Amino acid sequence: MSEREALDRYALGRALTALANASAHDMLARAPDDVPGAGARRIGLTGAPGAGKSTLAGHLALHRARGGHRMGVLAVDPSSPKSGGAILGDRIRMDDLAGSPDLYIRSIGSRSTSDGLSDNLPEMLDLMDAHGFDEVLLETVGVGQAEYAARAQVDTLLLVLLPESGDVVQAMKAGIMEMADLFVVNKCDLAGAQKMATDIQRIAAVSRREAGTWQPRVLLASSSKPETIEALSQAIDAHQAWLASSPRQAQLRQARARYRLRRVVERLAAHAIAALPAPVFDTSMPRQLAHVIEALQHSASDTTETTP
C-alpha cells in the first residue's frame, strides 16, 4: 500500500470554516451533479447534555486512530439564537487528549438548524471524505429530535446514557431506543450502571427488531477504563461489518440525499420569507406561498444559469 499523503490541517480547517459560513445559495451552486459515493465510515454519538459524550468521543477517536485509521471528529455545539455564536466547548474538552497525526477534532456551531446538527453538515462530511479520512465521528448537540436527523447521517449510532439519570425513560418517550445501534452506559464506575444496562437489555428484548436486522448491544464504558473503550470499539466494528452486507447502506444513501435537499430548500425558503415585503403578509396564505415559490424558482434558475 502506498504511503498516504499527510493531512493538511490548515487547508482542511479553512475549508470547513468556509462551508460553515456558506449560504444555501452557495450550497446549491456548488452541489455536485452526481450523488456522492461511499466515503468515510461515520459513527454518531448522541445523548443528553452531561452524559460525557465529548470525553467519550475523544477517547474513542484516539483509540481508533491508533489502529492506523485517519480519524476525524466533528462535534456540534449549540449556537446562541440571539448572537449566532457558539462556545465550542467540545473542542476545549477534547484538546487535552494526547495528540495523534491521524486525529483531527473540530467543533462546529449548530447555526440555524434545530435538529442537533449544523448548517451544511452533509457538505462538511463530503469534505472529510475528500481529505482521506477513514472514519468520522459525529457528536450531536443532545437528545430529542436530533436523533432523527443524525440517524441518516451516520452508519453507526451510539446512544450515551448516564446511570440513575432517567435518560432511558426520556429516550423511550422520544423513540430513540428504536434508532440506536449501540447503547452505552457511560461513567460505569458510578452506582447504578449495571442496573441501567440490565434495564436497557430488558427493554430491548421486549421490543426486539425484525429477524435479519441488527440487534442493538448494551455496553458499559468509562474514559478511565481503557478496556471498556476497546470493547466499544469492537462493537462498532461488528456493526460496521454487519452493515457492509446489509441493504441498509442503500437506504442510508437515499436518506442522506433527502436530508441534504430538504435542508437546502428549508434555508432558501427561510431566506425568501425574510425578504418578502410587508404588504405581502396582508394577502391570503396562498398568495404568500406563491411569492415564496416564485423566489425558490428564481434561485433554481439563477443557479442553473451560473453553473458552468
pLDDT along the chain (308 residues), means of 10: 74 90 76 66 87 88 84 76 43 53 82 59 89 91 61 89 70 66 92 87 70 85 93 96 85 83 85 92 94 87 57
The values of phi and psi at residue 100, to 5°, are: -150, 135
**pLDDT reported for residue 215:** 85
Is 130 part of a structural domain of the chain?
yes
Is 102 part of a structural domain of the chain?
yes
C-alpha cell at 203: 427493554
Is 19 part of a structural domain of the chain?
no
**pLDDT reported for residue 155:** 92
When divided into structural domains, the chain yields a total of 1
Is 293 part of a structural domain of the chain?
no
Domain of residue 168 covers 37-247
Indicate which CATH number applies to the domain containing 89.
3.40.50.300
Q: Which residues pair with 129 in a beta bridge?
A: none
Is 9 part of a structural domain of the chain?
no
With beta carbons less than 8 A apart as the criterion, state whether 154 and 253 touch.
Answer: no
**pLDDT reported for residue 116:** 47
Q: At what angle do helices 121-130 and 248-275 cross, to 10 degrees?
A: 130
Q: Is the pTM value of this prediction over 0.85? A: no
Is 78 part of a structural domain of the chain?
yes
**Beta-carbon-side half-sphere exposure of residue 263 (alpha carbons within 13 Å):** 27
Is 295 part of a structural domain of the chain?
no
Is 18 part of a structural domain of the chain?
no
The values of phi and psi at residue 145, to 5°, are: -70, -10
Query: How far is 30 from 32, CA to CA, in rounded Å?
Result: 6
With beta carbons less than 8 A apart as the criterion, state whether 122 and 91 touch.
Answer: no
State whether residue 139 is helix, strand or coil: strand
Residue written as cell 450523488? 35
Query: How far is 120 from 137, CA to CA, in rounded Å?
Result: 16
The DSSP H or E segment spanning 73 is strand 71-77
The DSSP H or E segment spanning 229 is helix 226-244
